[in-house]
Amino acid sequence: MTKRRKTVIVICVAVILISALLLLSGMYMLSYSLCPDGKEERDAKSSDFLRRHYPEAAVWTDSMRNCGCLRDTFIINADGLRLHALYASCENARGTAVLSHGYTDCALRIMMLGQMYSDSLHFNILAPDHVWHGQSDGEAIQMGWKDRLNLEQWIKIADSLWQGKPIYLHGISMGGATVMMCAGDTLPPSVHGIIEDCGYTSVWDEFSMQMKEEFGLPPHPLLDIASLLCRCRYGWDFKEASALKQVERSTLPMLFIHGDNDTYVPTWMVYALYRAKQNGKKRLWIAHGSEHASAFCDHRNEYIVQVKEFISDCK
């Protein structure tokens, strides 16, 4: 065997090994981000989470469940998955809030907003579990992108339950990204406004930042590979899942909320999103001193005021 042939073989083997390593790393990144461990434990501790961080909301939730006012409902989505939501009617309701929870959370963990809308604004509430979360089916988290299609199906359910009531979408973290991703689609005229709290600009941006923070790695090439694998397996990729592009298309009124100490979804993202909204009314509230998804906990009264003023401005 000639020296040149040996060199070619070594190079080919090296390329194969590196390609295999990158593929395996991409598969790990996809599983790590979209199928994280501990789901059952987190779901089981949802009530404890609410009692620890929002005790008033926990008491309200238990009371509403015990009297049969907070109920469960299920739908089958376009992919054949059985999806769950909590809902509650409000007597003489002024509107309806469709609530969107965060990454690895569930509908129960967003009931502090449910109490706010029910007690302070006299709204009906509908809070779905996104795919993979809570009592909903699904093999992987969808990071808001395909969740937006399910949320649009839930909007139709809200319309059928409470006909003639203006609907507002309100999401936190991944849920904030989800409602923004809805914003660029054609929504029913019953949807009057969107409130997003600490949502990210895009899945690519968020995962890029997390790769740097958690692993000290640049996005290329692992994130490219993970995104391609996501496209092959789940039918979407990280770059197309862009709240920023959807906000650019939106004409609905929007309220943007973000903590100025947020490092998980860095605060710069909300300014980019706010600038991207060129059509329709918009408001921005920066919660001083708040970290990720803690604006309501830190500034409850001001939070309620901001939401009330936004809804009043949408009328």
Residue 26 domain-assigned?
no
The pLDDT of residue 127:
98
pLDDT for 92: 94
Total structural domains in the chain? 1
**pLDDT score for 15:** 66
> What values do phi and psi take at 287, rounded to 5?
-85, 105
| 61 Rama class: left (phi>0) / alpha (psi -120 to 50) / beta | alpha
Residue 154, domain extent:
38-202+241-314
Closest of 300, 290, 310 to residue 113, by C-alpha = 300
Task: Tell me if 46 is assigned to some domain.
Answer: yes
What pLDDT does residue 21 have? 81
What contacts 288, CB < 8 A, 6 or more positions away? 260
CATH of the domain at 101: 3.40.50.1820
For residues 230 and 142, what is the distance between their CA atoms, to the nearest angstrom? 10
Inside any domain, residue 20: no
Task: Identify the pLDDT of residue 22.
Answer: 81
Contact 73, 85 (CB under 8 A): yes
8 is a domain residue:
no
Asked if residue 224 belongs to a domain, the reply is no
Could you tell me the mean pLDDT of each successive run of 10 residues in the chain, 315 residues long?
68 72 89 93 90 96 96 97 98 97 97 98 98 97 98 98 96 98 97 98 97 90 95 97 98 98 97 97 98 97 98 92
pLDDT at 5: 72
Task: Measure the CA–CA gap between 90 and 117, rounded to whole angstroms.
Answer: 9
- Tell me how far CA of residue 30 lies from CA of 35, 72, 182, 203, 239, in angstroms: 8, 31, 24, 12, 14
pLDDT of residue 10: 64
For the chain, counts of helices (H) and of strands (E)? 13, 8
